[in-house]
């Protein structure tokens, strides 16, 4: 069995946080589950221990530890968070491990990926995660989910403005979304800012950083919902990708 590096000093120096023994064991279990799930499902290309540590664990958690910019309160418990297009569980599963007092909803439109996550919850000893097979466009118009979340996370799903259309309707007014991006251009930022105006949100912080092992460029866009989203959004399934909002 491959074992994951611990890298306590790097966690500390980059995120001012370290996994407990229990959390380190959960990361290891997650790694083992992903490697075995990968034999049946196409979950990730990232399988080497250091790469998994950096691109899945560290990257997932960097998005929720941006200094004091997240603005959901340092020690706040009972946060309702949602990860849209979670795939093999990123960033949602590392976040659920690191924040055991938060409630996480992990959503993907692919049933077999969600089934994989569901089956992993017991070995991972996670009781703060619920899984759902659905489309972001449907959830955003469902009163059980619309305007119900304090925090929404979305990584590697669509263009930034499309991701915004998926997640902003799900947030309570005052809630926060984190869009995980790689490289980030001024054009993308202009387009996102226009989309947010329509959706009732604003760009609170553009967090640029590099990954600690391979120096890869990343940008997390931290969005704040400022007013209720107009009823027309999100638009019907498939429309946000086919007809960009701006
Ligand atoms: N967030 C993960 C997976 C990214 S792959 C990671 O960063 O590793 C993109 C995932 O988004 C796929 O699993 C796909 O099924 C899902 N997806 C794409 N569009 C979606 C939508 N509209 N609603 C729900 N899930 C969606």
Q: Whole-model pTM above 0.95?
A: yes
pLDDT at residue number 75: 58
- What is the rounded CA–CA span in Å between residue 116 and residue 25? 19
32: helix, coil or strand? helix
* Pairing mode of beta strands 80-84, 201-210: unpaired
Q: Report the separation in Å between the CA atom of 135 and the middle of ligand 1, taken as the mean of its atom positions.
A: 9
**Nearest residue (CA) to ligand 1, atom 14:** 85
- What is the number of H-type helices and E-type strands within the chain? 10, 7
Q: What does the chain come to in residues?
A: 246
Point out the ligand 1 atom lying closest to the alpha carbon of residue 92.
1
**Nearest residue (CA) to ligand 1, atom 23:** 135
Of 101, 52, 106, the residue nearest 79 (C-alpha):
101
157: helix, coil or strand? coil
- What is the rounded CA–CA span in Å between residue 91 and residue 21? 20
Name the average pLDDT for the chain.
96
pLDDT at residue number 71: 78
**Percentage of the chain exceeding pLDDT 70:** 98
pLDDT at residue number 77: 77
**Percentage of the chain exceeding pLDDT 90:** 93
Q: Report the separation in Å between the CA atom of 13 and the middle of ligand 1, taken as the mean of its atom positions.
A: 31
- What is the rounded CA–CA span in Å between residue 145 and residue 155? 19
**46, 83, 108: residue to mutate for ligand 1 pocket, most atoms within 8 A of CB:** 108
Burial class (CB in 10 A: 0-12, 13-18, 19+), 211: middle
Of 70, 104, 81, 86, the residue nearest 224 (C-alpha):
70
Tokens read off for 45: 């290309």
Mean of pLDDT values over 206-216: 97
Domains of the chain, first to last: 8-242 (3.40.50.150)
Residue 216 above 70 pLDDT?
yes
Q: Report the separation in Å between the CA atom of 211 and the middle of ligand 1, taken as the mean of its atom positions.
A: 22
Mean of pLDDT values over 121-129: 98
CB 161, CB 244: distance < 8 Å:
yes
pLDDT at residue number 130: 98
CB 62, CB 218: distance < 8 Å:
yes
Dihedral of CA atoms 59, 62, 64, 68 in degrees, nearest 10, equals -170
Residue 149 above 90 pLDDT?
yes
Q: Report the separation in Å between the CA atom of 12 and the middle of ligand 1, taken as the mean of its atom positions.
A: 30
**Nearest residue (CA) to ligand 1, atom 26:** 85
Point out the ligand 1 atom lying closest to the alpha carbon of residue 56.
8
pLDDT digits 0-9 by tens, 47-78: 999 999 999 999 999 999 877 778 776 556 78
Within 62-200, strands assigned E span 80-84, 103-108, 129-133, 149-155, 171-181
- What is the rounded CA–CA span in Å between residue 47 and residue 27? 13
- List all residues whose CB is within 6 A of at least one atom of ligand 1: 84-87, 90, 107-110, 113, 135-137, 155-157
Mean of pLDDT values over 6-34: 97
Tokens read off for 110: 């692919």
pLDDT at residue number 74: 55
pLDDT digits 0-9 by tens, 155-197: 999 999 999 999 999 999 999 999 999 999 999 999 999 999 9
pLDDT digits 0-9 by tens, 14-24: 999 999 999 99
């Amino acid at each position: 069995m491959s074992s994951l590096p611990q890298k306590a000093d790097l966690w500390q120096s980059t995120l001012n946080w370290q996994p407990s023994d229990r959390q380190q064991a959960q990361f290891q279990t997650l790694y083992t589950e992903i490697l075995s799930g990968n034999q049946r499902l196409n979950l990730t290309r990232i399988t080497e221990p250091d790469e998994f540590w950096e691109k899945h664990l560290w990257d997932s958690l960097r998005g929720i530890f941006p200094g004091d910019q997240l603005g959901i309160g340092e020690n706040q418990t009972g946060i309702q968070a949602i990860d849209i297009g979670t795939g093999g569980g990123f960033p949602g599963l590392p976040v659920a491990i690191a924040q055991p007092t938060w409630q996480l909803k992990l959503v993907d439109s692919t049933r077999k990926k969600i089934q994989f996550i569901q089956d992993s919850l017991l070995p991972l000893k996670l009781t703060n995660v619920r899984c759902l097979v659905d489309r972001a466009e449907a959830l955003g118009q469902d009163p059980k989910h619309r305007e119900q979340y304090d925090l929404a996370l979305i990584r590697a799903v669509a263009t930034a403005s499309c991701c915004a259309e998926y997640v902003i309707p799900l947030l309570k007014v005052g809630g926060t979304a984190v869009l995980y991006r790689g490289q980030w251009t001024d054009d993308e930022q202009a387009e996102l800012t226009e989309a947010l105006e329509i959706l009732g949100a604003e760009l609170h912080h553009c967090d640029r950083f590099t990954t600690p092992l391979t120096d890869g460029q990343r940008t997390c866009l931290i969005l704040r919902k400022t007013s209720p989203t107009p009823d027309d959004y999100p638009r019907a399934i498939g429309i946000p990708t086919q007809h960009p909002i701006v």
